Structure 1
């Protein structure tokens, strides 16, 4: 594939913006994935290449939140293997079944996430320690594994779903965003491994975007840590609504 310098420049600029937003509340794929398809990559290669770039981006964000004490490795460490396996299976399944079958369900779930967050105005403002029963603990693990599968299989809105479940568990927005980055990194890495095995990744675009995304991820993470939970809530609602509009447009008009 011929590389056009202007197209690559625009792609890298969009990658920076995507990683900045993604570091705060997720939703960066709303920008980076269409950008990759706009430069001529087929959908499967665009998804795979986006996983490479996002693995680098989410890894950077995770480390920034980790240094700030907003990633609870002791509590979430046992969940990571379930997300990893779920995403691995999702990435493999995408070659067997069209991801389009999940679009209606994904839209409904995003609407519910946005509506619940808007109407529950004090939600995620403070950390609320909750003792989970065995049944609830297993239910949350199942939910995280399912989101991991979804990320490997399709992807849009994954960060919003991770944050939403973490808020339900009692985390505030900053802690939810930090822990969600560890989950996103895990699911991205698993999907990337599968796509590498299947030979779907465009390395020049993926590594170029990933390099630029490091800086966007650092700035976005620091912005989130500085602005706190109130600003995080507003940006979370805005990005979730944009995800709804973008994917509704794709579903009904394409």
Structure 2
């Protein structure tokens, strides 16, 4: 029975990582898969974080090797993402995250609608170089979404991609590459919390992580090969799926 559960989990983990490496949002596939194995919600969250962090590192490296990660920008943004996620994780212990559901739902719908009706958004790379104003806005984005990821999480990848496109005029490919690195950075602090509290089931986490690493590598390769024409529709689809998931949680 356990062998069947692990096999199904690995299949779901592969597809989750494949999608996540392209447009974010893989958690809507992987987290329910972990919960279906019968482990507790906290253990599912911790094990999913362990596996997905391995995957995000892999896709980050793939994008970086292809020159789609801007380390000159990330050296300013990544530290604020890390600090924000640490503060967010600590804040989560004292404030109920359920009040964010409605706000996140509205933001996801707005991001999706803007991407649908703005045909040229993210289709061409129009980055013109580092400017103080852009760096400042990027730092605000990195800190805010780092805090959000540590505190709540759903939609972080989508918001990062959209924010990087809006601020730096990246195309979807370049935005996805930079978003993966920032997302990996924000994952580190929350993963540390789960590690310290022993909320990772390695029997499930290790095989799922291997599947996710393979899926994320293939997904990143596909994104780099197919470009923004592939990423944009997947990005919109994942954002809408996340919105539906959150809406279901509100009305349930």
| TM-score (normalizing by structure 2) | 0.93
Is 1:100 matched up with 2:116?
no
Query: Aligned residue for 2:216?
Result: 217
Residue 153 (structure 1) aligned to one of 151, 154, 167? 151
Q: CA RMSD in A?
A: 1.7
Following TM superposition, by how much is the alpha carbon of 1:163 offset from its aligned partner in structure 2, in angstroms? 0.1
Query: Aligned residue for 1:78?
Result: 76
Residue 8 (structure 1) aligned to one of 6, 9, 12? 6
Query: Aligned residue for 2:160?
Result: 162
CA spacing shift, 1:96–1:33, aligned 2, 3 Å: same
- The residue matched to 1:200 in structure 2 has which SS? coil
* d(CA) in 2 for partners of 1:193, 1:88: 10
Write out aligned runs for 1:40-189 (5 A). 40-130=38-128, 134=132, 137-168=135-166, 169-189=168-188
* d(CA) in 1 for partners of 2:138, 2:227: 25
Moved over 6 A (4+): none
- The residue matched to 1:201 in structure 2 has which SS? coil
State whether residues 92 and 194 of structure 1, in contact with CA within 8 Å, keep that contact through their aligned partners in structure 2. Answer: no
- Deviation string 1:136-182 (CA, Å, 9 cap, x unpaired) is 53333122211111112221111100000010121111000111110
State whether residues 26 and 160 of structure 1, in contact with CA within 8 Å, keep that contact through their aligned partners in structure 2. Answer: yes
- Deviation string 1:100-139 (CA, Å, 9 cap, x unpaired) is 2221111111111101111111011111124676455333
| TM-score (normalizing by structure 1) | 0.93
State whether residues 60 and 218 of structure 1, in contact with CA within 8 Å, keep that contact through their aligned partners in structure 2. Answer: yes
Write out aligned runs for 1:192-211 (5 A). 192-211=191-210
- The residue matched to 1:79 in structure 2 has which SS? helix
* d(CA) in 1 for partners of 2:219, 2:124: 21
Following TM superposition, by how much is the alpha carbon of 1:96 offset from its aligned partner in structure 2, in angstroms? 2.7
Query: Aligned residue for 1:232?
Result: 231
More deviation, 38-47/9-18 = 38-47
State whether residues 124 and 170 of structure 1, in contact with CA within 8 Å, keep that contact through their aligned partners in structure 2. Answer: yes
How many residues are matched? 251
State whether residues 90 and 191 of structure 1, in contact with CA within 8 Å, keep that contact through their aligned partners in structure 2. Answer: no
